């Protein structure tokens, strides 16, 4: 591997004569197989050589993060800290040192990972998650969000009281009212309390909590259809798509992602979960697995969207074993996990101040556009993947022309 990276014999000798040369070379071959560029491999080879010289790895002992940080500080004060390592502050250099060392040592199974603090009631949370999956059939994302709320509450509650049998409604109020939660909206507070109420009801059935506690949890009143869809305007979405019609790889990928939201009203997570086999190029069909109900929706592949996806697959998408359509462009290539920042960053760069600058905002834009074209609510619900038409009625509030027509109706003295 060193022969492939370095043309000068002196550089090759420097790396082959250093400590743990075989282990370093095996790690670099692994990175090359993951698609890392030659420049990245050269920088990593230099950093892990410095790691091997600054830390005694000849023993079988594992290394802690604190040892790596101490070695990084010593490295920036030594002769090994050459011009090749510079290009920024010493703080940034230490971060690069620790990052490269962490990845290499984890690859060799020589890193002592910090032990996460285990919750006292972690077993109850795990049992509740299994119950939600097996008995209620909830989606994995829903279970994760609910357990995240519960763990956040338990992390706050356990240092204050020994067990859940001592919990009272004042504890719930104090948790919601603590400083870091004061910026929560009414709807978010309601959802958090709903998650806690479900968990405490499950715990009460197993005798670990007073049954009156979950029954007494009441969230703030949130009126149905109280909020208007707040996505960007249709002309702003078109302006956003036109701004990405370039030859830059990241623009080609992001444009295909946002076009799926704009044309089909997909949620951001549905775009990121799209698999290669979900696109039927022979029949020009697109199969979408809905996030909330796992129903498969089939759409006709719009030529503009199909061309954008095809261009991304042909020119931009790196060769990797991932089944997801949209993956990260820099190595290591893995499925993208968030699409929120893609939309928000690009709208902000264009000076578009949409209240909901997210993929869901673009989903709202499509629904409002269909409503303005007098499409039936049932059709809009099918496009958006709503199980109930009641979820689609909120978009009737933005059909101002239709509402104005209703207000001007002459009821002929019926009332």
Classified as helix, coil or strand, 224 is: coil
Q: Which residues contact 155 (CB under 8 A, 6 or more apart)?
A: 119
> Angle at the Cα of 386 (from 380 to 392), degrees rounded to 5?
55
Report d(CA 388, CA 398) in Å as an integer. 19
Mean pLDDT of 318-323: 86
The whole-number pLDDT of residue 370 equals 81
pLDDT exceeds cutoff 60 at 403: no
Is the Cβ–Cβ distance between 111 and 102 less than 8 Å?
yes
Long-range contacts, stretch 371-377, CB < 8 angstroms, 24+ apart = 371/395, 371/396, 371/398, 371/399, 371/402, 372/398, 372/399, 372/401, 374/402
Look-up: residue for tokens 């690009």? 346
Span 122-216: which CATH code? 1.10.150.130
The whole-number pLDDT of residue 93 equals 86
The whole-number pLDDT of residue 128 equals 93
- Looking at residue 57, the DSSP 8-state letter turns out to be -
Report d(CA 196, CA 153) in Å as an integer. 8
| Mean pLDDT rounded to a whole number for the chain | 83
The residue extents of the domains of the chain are: 2-107, 122-216, 234-404
- % pLDDT > 70, the chain: 90
Strand ranges, E, within 183-289: 279-280, 285-289
Mean pLDDT of 334-346: 87
The whole-number pLDDT of residue 377 equals 76
Cut 0.85: pTM above it: no
Q: What is the pLDDT of residues 226-274, one digit of tens each?
A: 565 677 888 888 999 999 999 999 999 999 999 999 888 888 888 999 9
- Looking at residue 275, the DSSP 8-state letter turns out to be B
- Looking at residue 63, the DSSP 8-state letter turns out to be B
406 — pLDDT class (breaks 50, 70, 90) = very low
12 — pLDDT class (breaks 50, 70, 90) = confident
Long-range contacts, stretch 213-222, CB < 8 angstroms, 24+ apart = 213/167, 213/168, 213/169, 213/172, 216/169, 217/169, 217/172, 217/193, 218/193, 219/189, 219/190, 219/193, 219/194, 220/186, 220/189, 220/190, 222/186, 222/187, 222/190
pLDDT exceeds cutoff 60 at 409: no
Is the Cβ–Cβ distance between 169 and 163 less than 8 Å?
no
Tell me the two tokens of residue 210: 């007073």
Catalytic residues: 267, 292, 360, 363, 386, 395
| CATH T-level fold of 234-404 | hpI Integrase; Chain A (1.10.443)
């Amino acid at each position: 591997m060193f022969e492939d990276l370095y043309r000068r014999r002196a550089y090759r000798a420097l790396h082959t004569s250093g400590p743990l040369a075989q282990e370093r070379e095996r790690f670099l071959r692994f990175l090359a197989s993951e698609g890392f560029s030659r420049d990245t491999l050269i920088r990593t080879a230099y950093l892990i050589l410095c790691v091997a010289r600054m830390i005694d790895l000849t023993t079988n002992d594992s290394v802690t993060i604190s040892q790596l940080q101490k070695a990084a500080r010593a490295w920036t004060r030594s002769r090994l800290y050459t011009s090749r390592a510079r290009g920024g502050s010493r703080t940034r250099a230490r971060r690069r040192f620790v990052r490269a060392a962490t990845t290499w040592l984890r690859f060799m199974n020589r890193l002592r990972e910090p032990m996460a603090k285990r919750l006292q009631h972690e077993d109850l949370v795990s049992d509740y998650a299994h119950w939600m999956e097996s008995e209620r059939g909830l989606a994995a994302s829903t279970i994760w969000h609910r357990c995240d709320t519960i763990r956040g509450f338990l992390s706050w509650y356990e240092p204050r009281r020994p067990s859940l049998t001592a919990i009272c409604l004042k504890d719930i109020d104090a948790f919601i009212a603590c400083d870091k939660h004061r910026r929560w909206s009414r709807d978010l507070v309601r959802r958090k309390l709903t998650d806690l109420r479900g968990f405490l009801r499950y715990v009460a059935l197993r005798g670990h909590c007073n049954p009156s506690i979950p029954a007494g949890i009441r969230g703030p009143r949130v009126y149905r259809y109280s909020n208007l869809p707040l996505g960007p305007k249709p002309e702003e979405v078109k302006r956003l798509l036109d701004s990405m019609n370039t030859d830059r790889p990241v623009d080609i990928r992001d444009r295909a992602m946002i076009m799926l939201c704009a044309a089909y009203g997909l949620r951001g997570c549905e775009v990121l979960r799209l698999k290669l086999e979900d696109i039927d190029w022979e029949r020009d069909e697109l199969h979408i697995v809905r996030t909330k109900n796992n129903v498969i929706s089939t759409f006709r592949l719009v030529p503009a969207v199909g061309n954008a996806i095809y261009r991304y697959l042909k020119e931009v998408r790196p060769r990797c074993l991932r089944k997801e359509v949209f993956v990260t462009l820099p190595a290591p290539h893995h499925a993208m996990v968030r699409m929120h920042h893609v939309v928000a960053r690009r709208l902000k760069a264009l000076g578009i101040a949409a209240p909901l600058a997210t993929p869901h905002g673009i989903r709202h834009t499509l629904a409002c556009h269909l409503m303005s074209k007098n499409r039936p609510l049932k059709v809009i619900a099918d496009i958006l993947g709503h199980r109930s038409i009641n979820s689609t009625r909120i978009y009737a509030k933005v059909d101002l022309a239709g509402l104005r027509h209703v207000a001007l109706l002459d009821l002929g003295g019926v009332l």
